[in-house]
Amino acid sequence: MQQHPVPQNISSYEFRLVGDMTLKQFLQLAGGIVLAFIFFRLPIPVILKYPLVFVSAVTGAAMAFLPISGRPFTAVDVLFSWERALDPATGSHTASTYLGDILGAQAFLERDAEDIEGVTAVDDYTVSVRLESPKAYFLAKLAYPTSWIVDRETIDQMEEHPIGTGPFQWLRRTPGQEIVLERNPRYHLGPVALPYVVYLINPGYPVRLYEGGEIDFTYLPEDLLERAGDPSDTLYGQVYPITDLCTYYVAFDSSRPPFDDPAVRLAFAQSVDNHRYNEFVYEGGMTPAAGLYPPGLPGFSDEALALPFDATAARRSLARSAYAGPEALPEILLTDNGAGTDIDSSTAFLIQSWQETLGVTVEVEQLESFGYSDQIYSGNHGQLVPWGWCADYPDPENFADLLFHSGSRQNIGNYSNPALDRLLEQARSEQEVAARLAFYREAEQLLVDDAAAIFLVQSPTRYILVKPRIAGYVAAPIGIAQHMNLAIVEP
């Protein structure tokens, strides 16, 4: 790759971050290279049929893939990118989830069709998208990387030199040291304020680098939070709170004994004190979960009625199950990622809770971290799987529907409840916001009452440091790329 010269005084007008993320994760954070789809500023007119029509005022004629070919970005690139995502040869585990609402997407994925019936190029700069049925959340799904548009002529160079039409373009990567993006002078909304974004990879202790003026953005460890509240401290006034939209839970494989029996699921759920779990595993650093939705997600309610820890009720639940007690239960296996003979504190707490409360011994198997999710999604796991989910877009459909609808690939526990499916299917097409959220709150309570999973904890508030010279930063619960909104304002 050709090395581009960087001005000697780049540090005076670059935005610097620090971390140990992979290239792919960094690109998701920076987001500046990919197309403006991810910012909900569609670069070409897109007509969505069912449930709504959306036409962008931005023309595609001004957009080009840079810096290699300068080829215009057209509707054909949208078709290519989505067909590539859904092509079985690509091996995407998320394409059916995030593009499956499009008419004909599933048939294309299963090789029953040569193209995606619901996606057509009306002209060079207009794409028509027809959905299987009304989906109020579909536009939000387009923000997920599955929908991102790639340059068909340089797709083989994506890892070494990604090409897009966003506010930034690739400058260089020094393996193990840094990744540098530079401003795209032909960005369709006009050049952004930041000339460069530099991401430093493991250069040292982040807070020390931040205080030394070497970086502009980093996370603040909780033990330094008191400093940030002291007006005389150098960190004062530079802290932003963020709450990640994440829920951690134990999935039951309800298609296999003994968790095909709701009474056994209930007994196991009632045996776990998630307040003690939070103290033991996280030293109180998380938020005990009352249900599926994390605080801050639309649909979250403080009125959700959790299943409380109750050892006596747990033993009664097991006694009235088809097994009538612990003696007749089959062997139960919990699958986690790891290696060696040691188990982590989370797993230790769980298996001890079930042993002490119910007299049930749960065996543990550990799978290698590499490929762990693939194994779980393929069904290669025991009847219990500790799991977690963070929002890809801020809609309760991204939790309830994806994780527990009987037809969802992300439903790793094979939970099936016709009443829940009906609620979720009603919510999918409901256009009135209050009515949609009411469906999802009802669905959440059904999941809790039926012990579809053991909801453990949810993400706590975290804190980030942003230098005062950086203008335009907005703390968001999802890692939304926003470098295009930032500017450096020197005193």
- Fold adopted by 246-458: Dipeptide-binding Protein; domain 3 (3.10.105)
Closest by CA to 192, choosing from 36, 382, 418, is 36
Closest by CA to 222, choosing from 201, 246, 205, 241, is 241
pLDDT tens digits for range 258-279: 999 999 999 999 999 999 999 9
Q: How far apart are CA 431 and CA 134, in angstroms?
A: 9
Mean of per-residue pLDDT scores for the chain: 84
Residue 322, pLDDT > 90, answer yes
Could you confirm whether domain 168-243+466-488 is CATH 3.40.190.10? yes
DSSP reduced 3-state for 386: strand
- What average pLDDT does the segment 82-107 reach? 92
pLDDT classification of 41: cutoffs 50, 70, 90: very low
Residue 349, pLDDT > 60, answer yes
pLDDT on residue 48: 41
Closest by CA to 122, choosing from 38, 56, 64, 166, is 56
pLDDT on residue 398: 95
Residue 316, pLDDT > 50, answer yes
Total Cβ atoms within 10 A of residue 74: 20
Q: Which residue has the tokens 């975290």?
A: 462
Peptide bond into 185 cis (omega under 30): no
Domains of the chain by residue range: 34-157, 168-243+466-488, 246-458
Q: Looking at the DSSP assignment, which residues form a beta bridge with residue 169?
A: 182
Q: What is the percent of the chain where pLDDT is above 70?
A: 85
Q: How far apart are CA 255 and CA 253, in angstroms?
A: 5
- What average pLDDT does the segment 332-356 reach? 92
Could you confirm whether domain 34-157 is CATH 3.90.76.10? yes
Total Cβ atoms within 10 A of residue 115: 12
pLDDT classification of 16: cutoffs 50, 70, 90: low
Residue 339, pLDDT > 80, answer no
Which residues contact residue 89 at a Cβ distance below 8 angstroms, ignoring those fewer than 6 apart? Answer: none
Give the type of residue at 413.
G
pLDDT on residue 330: 97
pLDDT on residue 388: 95
Sign of the CA dihedral with 362 first, then 363, 369, and 370 last: negative
